[in-house]
Structure 1
Amino acid sequence: MTSTVIAPSLYDRDFSLWVEDVAARLKARDFELLDIENLIEEIESLGRTERHELKNRLDVLLSHILKRVYVPIQNDRNGWERTIREQRKQIKRRLADSPSLKNYLPEIFDEILEDVIAELREDYPQVQFPDTWQFSRDVDAILSEAFWENI
């Protein structure tokens, strides 16, 4: 009985070298020797990574907006506002690079908000957080308005 030993592919042995090799082949228009399966997997992964990053940033943003609005701790407000500004800046940068992601924010908003409210209720049991978002859901408003000034 003979067994065939399959050598690991470049993708499995050295990812960085694989990326360089794929880039060189694409530049040279050498499509016949491209590692198509792994290339497809990596491109799909890029899209998932962008959406995951946006979810994480929205989670932090909503959490800090709600803390800033509802938690009556004066000395934490400046830190929450700095975090709000940073998350907004990073989300705006992502949307500038990938404008189609702006349509993704409303899709994930309720899921993220539900998780955020649950966590905040655990962290601040003495605070009455609303069950729903009390402010504009417009993406531009979420990325710019000081909702705490209207209360």
Structure 2
Amino acid sequence: MTQTITRKFLYESDYLLWTQETIAKLKARDFDHIDFENLIEEIEDLGRSYRDELESRLDVLLSHILKRLYVPLPNDYNGWERTIREQRKQIRRRLEKSPSLKNYLPEIFDKIWQDVIKEVREDYPQYDFPDLWQFDRDIDTLLNGNFWS
């Protein structure tokens, strides 16, 4: 009981030290003294954070693609295109580290699309945007397509 309280206290009071001690215990195979409850929670959070990052980057990517395609403000094109390139680069990097995230993309695309289309319509009510994404949804198209050429 005291060890559980001590482990939980360390996790709550000094997260970095908790991670270092947990790693040391795992390497030493000292499984009797590992704070499994918080370790499991941290691993779950890590997976969630990867999915959250993909959602966020996809949101920004789609938003800027839409603006670049449908908002005729040439002075803004360069900024939107730079943002598109940056989001694509970051998504590529994340997918290289976690290829299984590619399977998550079809699951979230419609939800992200609905959020994006609502926001761009609110930001640019004077322009017409399509109700549906008009291009392929596969990751290669999203990361490489030049939709406005």
- The answer to whether the superposition gives a TM-score over 0.5 is yes
> Cα offset for 1:138?
1.4
Q: Deviations over 1:8-66 (max 9, x none)?
A: 62111111110010000011111111001000000000000000000000000000000
Per the alignment, residue 24 of structure 1 pairs with: 24
Aligned partner letter, 1:9 = F
**Does structure 1 residue 62 correspond to structure 2 residue 50?**
no
**Does structure 1 residue 104 correspond to structure 2 residue 90?**
no
- Within 1, Cα distance between the matches of 2:115 and 2:94? 22
Q: Deviations over 1:55-106 (max 9, x none)?
A: 0000000000000000000100011000000000000000000000001111
SS at match of 2:31: coil
- Within 2, Cα distance between the matches of 1:56 and 1:68? 18
Aligned partner letter, 1:140 = D
- Within 2, Cα distance between the matches of 1:9 and 1:119? 43
- Within 1, Cα distance between the matches of 2:141 and 2:24? 43
Gaps of 5+ in 2: none
| Cα RMSD, aligned residues only | 1.0
- Within 2, Cα distance between the matches of 1:13 and 1:142? 43
Per the alignment, residue 117 of structure 1 pairs with: 117
Runs of 4+ in 1 over 4 A off after TM superposition: none
Gaps of 5+ in 1: 1-5
> Cα offset for 1:137?
1.1
Per the alignment, residue 133 of structure 2 pairs with: 133
**Does structure 1 residue 38 correspond to structure 2 residue 54?**
no
SS at match of 1:32: helix
- Within 2, Cα distance between the matches of 1:88 and 1:125? 27
- Within 2, Cα distance between the matches of 1:112 and 1:61? 10
Number of matched residues?
A: 144
> Cα offset for 1:148?
1.1
